[in-house]
Each structure stands twice: as C-alpha cells, then as structure tokens.
Amino acid sequence: MHLSLLSLLTLLLPLTTAQAPPPRNDLACSLCKTVMELLDQYLTDTTNEEAIADALKQICAALPSPLDAECDAMISEYTDDIIELLVNEYLSPQQVCDALTLCP
C-alpha cells in the first residue's frame, strides 16, 4: 500500500501547482480514479460499508495539501454513491468516476 501511495503522490504532486480548474477537470478525474483504484486494492471485505468509508478517509489523509482537502470534499459528497457503484454494481474505477461525473 505504501508503494501505491508513493506512486499516487508522485503522479499528483505536479498537478498541485496548477491554477484551480473548474469542476469536472483532469485533476478531479485523475484524483477520483486514483482514489477508487487504491480503495479497490485496499478493501478486503467488500460487504462492509463502514470499512469502505474508513478506507476512503485513510486514502485522503495520506495525500498532501491541498489534495487531501479536495479528496475529503469528494468523499463527503460521494461516499454512498461510491459504495453503490464500486461494491454493489462492481464497476471499475473509471466507470465510478464517470458515473459521478468527475471525468470529462
């Protein structure tokens, strides 16, 4: 998991210097897909919705500022939808982010 987080941070750190783009941008899409991929790898019991919410909080907490705050806002708004799409409908991370309209 540490290697995945390191890869995530390496991928996303250059994006933090860009100006704040409008909703449904490449940063939001990239962040969403990466968080969903890490969450998918992290979960061991996909029937436990509380474990999913906790895993999302842990993933966001590992991100540098300001990505951590953006991630927290994303999961606060979309946790129930993420659970439904990722666990109950068995969608891929890309499909989840598309369904949440976070990817252009």
Q: What is the pLDDT, as a whole number, of residue 7?
A: 43
Do 48 and 83 contact (CB within 8 A), yes or no? no
The model's pLDDT over 58-72, given as tens digits with 9 standing for 90+, comes to 999 999 999 999 999
Confidence of residue 84 (pLDDT cuts 50, 70, 90): confident
Look up residue 91 and give its two tokens: 């969608």
Best-predicted range by mean pLDDT (7-16, 19-28, 33-42, 94-103) = 94-103
The model's pLDDT over 24-49, given as tens digits with 9 standing for 90+, comes to 688 999 999 999 888 877 765 555 67
**SS percent in the chain: helix, strand, coil, step 5:** 70, 0, 30
